[in-house]
Structure 1
């Protein structure tokens, strides 16, 4: 029996390694590059306007459809992406690929903004209303309604529903339980019970409840973490120029072994930077457009502009500050993951490890909330609205289960299905890219006419 389980784990690990190999990474980045060219660098031209729409202006009062505000939709999507990848994922990329990995994370973020934009345009354009009167949208809907390929939409929904229980649930609750136990010596079971109860309080109320909570929680947790990181950077400004020099130098040159660092080739640096960048911001995986489809908005492009700021905030802002502190202090210490990030923060500021621990708890909890909605909509697409409440109860139980189990196999399985989600989504994005371009052109022409009127 034991050997059978090991064989299954080895097979899943093999598949996961293939799924997240160079072909997938190049396809993900290549899609972002193609959309950047097609949209003439829209993410750079419209960044400030997008941030204005996301953080200042409110469109929902004049919108006729939608369940939550565009801001709440953004916060729900951010809740799922700003997570352990911003703390442990950045550290893993730098620990294996060297400081230059952060540069390649920036590349994925910059082109990923175009991908995220395209996903949201299609999600809003092809969304529909379910039997409960709520918005339903995402890759499964724009693949079915835009391409007429329902079987491919079903494939996406299956992959997403499995990934939701792994990467969006048990892996996160296990990370929280481990962090709380290590820092405060609280037993895993009590952490799990508390986390499951807090999850139930939010997700049983559906997307409107999730939107209200994430609309408050996400700004707080991001500002808390960024505030701590900025204090560390401010207290160690003399190290900043050297850190940036290392990042740019090692992005294009092999990283020599030193300290606890084993050394890295340029290909290793690129691969881990790109892989961890995609893992963090999820551009191209197809998860975020499920939340975008629930937004109250007048036009698909309005929400798409808001949605692309998610990747900017996640990768260009949060990951950059984490990576910068790691490079400033202990990138070659031999540590890895959240432990490496906590050590770097502590070296920069007494008590810095608690910023990382509390940040990890908040990030993981928010990821559970965001992914509960992604999984719910995927299950609903497959089986209808009658399964929503049973799904929510099962999702809550999985939070408790994940906090008490060793989830290395669950992580591998979830990582595999997380990558498989990208395949049907990228097919949909590439095939429907003319639709994205047309919607954008019409919107920009209308906006220009309104300005000139």
Structure 2
């Protein structure tokens, strides 16, 4: 099995995605006229103006928090440390690049998810890449393949990754047995996920802002403590990215090591282009009532995840001086060592608690994506969902006891398969994204509150649920 996983990773990450992700991000950045930079303030408006939802959906703020629950996890703590160990400080620069161009990718995939969403048997919104593959491109078999990959990767494998990080952190800080950690986390997650997506959204909108805010406040405190060293650290990140400071490189050194590890860990963290966040974006009732609105919200999620939280972790590690690729210390342990060097023994406790919150919310967020995929496959009924929930909890316990390398390699392979399918789909549907974007901002220029009018899109007849978009008042 490990040989198969290694082969898939060598193909997907050595050739396809390391260039494909950047290429698609650049493609959408150019085709949408640098939307993520020109309309950055509109992203906040789309979130802050979203105080209401209807009985069929959740609020855009809840959708943002749920997607951040999935995004903000081990990739922000353990993953950044792995990137630094294997690719050197330059890996962080490439994480930034993936995020900045990835904001356009995230906007596009979530806009499409909104456009092609449907109502399930209970009248609740569901959607995502599987739905725009089937309804927009007319390839339902590809939607089925994507859904299976999503369930396997996010519902199962990625949740094992999150549980692994929690177990490592708790064992390192308090000596708690990994099996015990896995059982407790599974019990906590079970209480939430058996309540469905609405329950997950309610929990996420409370926990996510708190945990992200606390983490950023600590990072700011450490930056202020070491303010004179910050310019040098930033210079090292940029210099290493282009091979100008080879001595600071990772184990393999060089530009390609920085590029490869920065892209891999960047995508694992912010998920732009992977096709995961669109699944929760489709569940939201957008405000304004236009598909592009939710696309803007999810683009902001990429910025928060990578440019703010991942950067905070990287700067804290680099300022601490504990990074030594030859030592073999990486992952959660490296992040804990960095905090301990800065704020004493409380560093171990803080990272253990942060990992617990970050990874726990990722588990429930990841499950919400898998539930969407089950709906597409016609398995969104109570019995089938309960089987999935039990399998998710079993993977949490299993993942708590596995090695970091095994879990991360498996996650890389499954994530790569998903991303490849999704990237092809959104490029093929890019014309629709462009038209939606122009429509949204043309209405803004006219002083109107943007609204989607299905009649203006005759080419979409029979592909979208016009009843959803014909409602003048979703509430």
Answer yes or no: same fold by TM over 0.5: yes
Aligned-pair distance for 1:402? Answer: 2.7
**Which of 375, 378, 383 is the equivalent residue of 1:380?**
375
* Aligned 8 A contact 2:130 2:143 in 1: yes
Give the counterpart of 2:350 among 355, 363, 366: 355
User: Residue 190 of structure 1 corresponds to which residue in structure 2?
Assistant: 180
The counterpart of 2:270, out of the listed 264, 281, 287, is 281
* Inter-partner Cα distance in structure 2 for 1:407 and 1:237: 33
Q: Deviations over 1:195-254 (max 9, x none)?
A: 112111111111110000000010111112111111111111111111111112222125
Distance 1:425 1:331, change over 3 A: farther
Change (3 A) 1:65 1:137: farther
Compared CA separation, residues 88 and 271, structure 1 to 2 (3 A): same
Q: Deviations over 1:354-383 (max 9, x none)?
A: 222211111111110111111122123224
State the Cα distance separating 1:175 from its structure 2 match: 1.9
- Identify which of 60, 65, 69 aligns with 2:52: 60
Between the aligned partners of 1:407 and 1:238, the Cα distance in structure 2 is 35
C-alpha distance in structure 1 between counterparts of 2:89 and 2:174, whole Å: 31
For the Cα contact (< 8 Å) 1:254–1:266, is it kept in 2? no
Please tell me whether the aligned partners of residues 380 and 388 of structure 1 are also in contact (alpha carbons under 8 angstroms): no
Residue 165 (structure 1) shift: 4.0
Does residue 15 of structure 1 match 2:13? no
Residue equivalent to 1:215: 205
Distance in 2 (CA, whole Å) between partners of 1:264 and 1:373 is 38
Please, which runs of 5 or more residues in structure 1 have no aligned partner?
1-7
Number of the residue aligned with 2:410: 413
- Once the two structures are overlaid, the 10-residue window that deviates more, 198-207 or 345-354, is 345-354
1:393 to 367, 384, 390: 390
- Verify the 8 A CA contact 1:228 1:355 in the aligned structure 2: no
Q: For residue 435 of structure 1, what is the aligned residue in structure 2?
A: 432
Distance in 1 separating the partners of 2:20 and 2:322: 29
Distance 1:407 1:330 in 2: 23
Q: Are residues 1:102 and 2:92 paired?
A: yes
What is the distance in 2 between the residues matched to 1:431 and 1:291?
22
Q: CA deviation at 1:424?
A: 1.5
**Which whole-Å CA distance do the structure 1 matches of 2:414 and 2:341 have between them?**
37
Note the alpha carbon deviations across 1:392-424, whole angstroms, 9 max, x for none.
222223323332455754543332111100121
Show the counterpart of 2:336. Answer: 342
In 1, are the aligned partners of 2:443 and 2:449 still within 8 Å (CA)?
A: no
TM-score (norm 1): 0.93
Shift of 1:11: 2.1
1:123 aligns with 2:105: no
In 2, the alpha carbon distance for the partners of 1:166 and 1:33 equals 31
Change (3 A) 1:409 1:319: closer
Q: Give secondary structure in 1 for the equivalent of 2:446.
A: helix
Unaligned runs of 5+ in 2: 451-475
Whether contact under 8 Å (1:98, 1:331) holds in the other structure is no
Name the residue aligned to 2:44.
51
Give a deviation string over 1:280-310, Cα, whole Å, max 9, x none. Answer: 1110110000000000111111111111100
Q: Does the 8 A contact of 1:94 with 1:331 survive in 2?
A: no
Look up the SS of the partner of 1:450 in the other structure: coil
Asked if structure 2 preserves the Cα contact closer than 8 Å seen for 1:170 and 1:407, the reply is no
User: 1:77-123, CA deviations, whole angstroms, 9 ceiling, x for partnerless residues?
Assistant: 01111111111111121222221211111100100000000011100
Does the 8 Å contact 1:86/1:322 carry over to 2? Answer: yes
Matches within 5 A, 1:173-184: 173-184=163-174
Q: 1:294 aligns with which of 283, 295, 300?
A: 283
Equivalent residues of 1:232, 1:345 under 8 A apart:
no
TM-score, scaled to structure 2: 0.89
* SS state at 1:164 partner: helix
Question: Could you say which residue in structure 2 is the equivalent of 1:3?
Answer: none
Structure 1 match to 2:317 = 326
For residues 13-37 of structure 1, the C-alpha deviation after alignment (integer angstroms, 9 at most, x for no partner) is: 2212322223212111111111111
